[in-house]
A and B are shown apart, each in its own frame.
Chain A
Amino acid sequence: MKKIKNTPNLNRRNFLAGTASIAGLAATASVVPITFANANHTDGSKGLPDFINWKNRDALIVHSDKGIETHRSAIGEGLITPNANVYIRNNMPTMSDAQIGDRNNWKVSFEGVNSPKSFTLAELKAMGTTTIATVLQCSGNGRGFFEHGPSGSQWQTGAAACVFWTGIPVKTLVDACGGISNGANFMTSAGVDHEPTGLAPKDAMVERSVPKKVYEDALLAWDMNGVPLPNSHGGPLRMITPGYFGINNVKHLGKVAFTTDESQVKFMKSSYRISPIGKKGSEYPTCWEMPVKSWITRPTDETGTVKAGKVQIVGVALGGTRKVKSVKVSVDGGNKWQKAKFIGPDLGKFAWRQFVLETTLSAGTYNIASLASNGKDKQPELRMENRRGYAHNGWKDHSVNITVA
């Protein structure tokens, strides 16, 4: 195939005539600074992009430079996921140190409160601190199991992690602002990572509304597993909405507002909607609360042939916004189930629990599945079919086939 030369015409302005908002988006996109463009996208020495070349390449599956998954077998041997193994899913380019500047001077504003205020990170650190463990999970985790081929990274199990976040409770800041204004129904968090791209906020700002009640559990985090929150995970300040899908945990946080209505930006209004295949629209539910879910992390098809005899079947289970209560394990594709036991410490209802079933397996092939319950809901057998492959918690697709010899 002959090499064809062509230079991008990045100054073209009229290519999307008739679609005003998109035309505006693309026009502003055409002035993205080249130096910044190169900064985040050069391949790292270990096959990772430079901005995350500190991560553990062996633990990760690279779907793209902005979609990087943790191997199933790299989850679960420790209750907390090490930062180097935590998945990457970024809608906007990660902000650089130069764009962030002095982290202590990073500002977040509070609106929709009786006394609107702006706080620097240094001020936040002086006002209060706590640590919580939560499961961070991409809305599309499990998309790779959908047979209709939804767009987006084909995650299986690894767009999820259990993380210690250190920061200040939103409730503390609400109190410092004199309480929430009357009429608020939502807590709406906005990132500022679209700003360096020059794109229109309506199209590119990651602003997410969640029900107001979430503020009671929410945290503004500046540390992740005991170290300053990495830029690639939303540093220096990130909204943590425990029990809610990752997109609601807004990175590079610049504003928290208590609002009457949901945000009207694209990432709220039309993206992340759980719609039937072939349909889309803001009338469908958005990705908010995570459903109860579990999966096996050892043995798996990644860990090779299993030695016959006593076998430890290990996995993780999360309850969403409720505490996970029980897990059952099947070694015959779901015909018979045995109760697994939880191991390790209980880090609260928003963290996942590790579980183990000790059993004896003779030579043969096995389909191993896990089924978790949070007391109110349990995992369904099958996925909930939807256009974009969101919120998959069906146990059957998440089962693993192993060989025992």
Chain B
Amino acid sequence: MKILKFFVVCIFCFSQTAAADADEVKMAKGLQIFNETAVCASCHILKAANSVGNVGPNLDTLNVTLQSVINTVTEGIGVMPAFGDTGILTNEEIETVAYFVINSIGK
């Protein structure tokens, strides 16, 4: 029984670590898209990305959902390009950068 418990705890810890690692990888990829691939940084402030762009809203002031960020990045708004509709970013990249933004606001 003790051996079984030990294995259960190990599996739990492993899965937790793997999830944390996956999250870090996703955040790093999101940051890279934000600053490099899509250059969101050139138009937005986001402290977590060290960005100081001045065209669009300061992302640190936003109160939005993951889905709304995905929609906005996909379709564009105002001067912001439609990164999804024009094929600049893939759906996966959009979800990743939106995840990064949502988890970085105000940090």
Residues of chain A touching chain B, judged by Cβ–Cβ distance below 8 Å, are 1-2, 4, 6-10, 12, 15-16, 18-19, 22, 25-26, 29-30, 32-34, 36-38, 40-41, 43, 49, 62-67, 91-93, 149-152, 194, 197, 199, 203-204, 266-267, 271, 280
Contacts and interface: CB of A to CB of B under 8 A. Distances in A.
Contact of B27 (A4, A66, A91, A271): A4
Given A1-B23, A4-B28, A25-B81, A15 B36 contact: yes
B31 A4 contact: yes
A10 B79 contact: no
A271 B67 contact: no
A26 B75 contact: no
Contacts of A32: 42-43, 53-55
A49 B36 CA distance: 27
A65 B58 contact: yes
B86 interface: yes
Given A8-B51, A22-B86, A29 B39 contact: yes
A154 to B, nearest CB: 8
A197 B54 contact: yes
Nearest to A9: B36
Contact of B88 (A19, A36, A266): A19
Interface residues of B, number: 44
Question: What 3 A-B pairs have minimum CB-CB distances, sorted nearest first?
Answer: A8-B41, A37-B54, A64-B57
Contacts, number: 131
Contact of A6 (B38, B42, B43, B49): B49
10 contacts: A1-B20, A26-B39, A32-B43, A41-B45, A43-B61, A66-B56, A91-B79, A149-B67, A151-B72, A204-B55
A8 B24 contact: no
Given A7-B35, A9-B36, A29-B42, A64 B58 contact: yes
A67 to B, nearest CB: 7
A40 B65 CA distance: 24
Contacts of B53: 29, 32, 37
B86 A19 contact: yes
B2 to A, nearest CB: 33
A10 B81 contact: no
Nearest to B67: A149
A307 to B, nearest CB: 33
A92 B79 contact: yes
Contacts of A197: 54-55
Nearest to A151: B72
B16 interface: no
Contacts of B72: 151-152
Given A41-B45, A92-B79, A6 B32 contact: yes
A167 B86 CA distance: 42
B52 A38 contact: yes
From A6, A9, A29, A266, name the one whose CB has the most chain B CB atoms within 10 angstroms.
Answer: A6
Contacts of A93: 54-55
Nearest to B69: A151
Nearest to A4: B28
Given A12-B36, A64-B62, A149-B71, A30 B42 contact: yes
Contacts of B45: 37, 41
A361 to B, nearest CB: 34
A374 to B, nearest CB: 30
B37 A67 contact: no
Nearest to B75: A151
A67 B57 CA distance: 8
A64 B86 contact: no
Nearest to A197: B55
Contacts of A4: 24, 27-28, 31
B89 to A, nearest CB: 10
A8 B53 CA distance: 10
From A8, A26, A64, A271, name the one whose CB has the most chain B CB atoms within 10 angstroms.
Answer: A8
A4 B37 CA distance: 17
Contacts of A151: 68, 71-72, 75, 77
Nearest to A387: B75
A267 B76 CA distance: 12
Contacts of B90: none
Given A4-B24, A6-B50, A29-B39, A271 B78 contact: yes
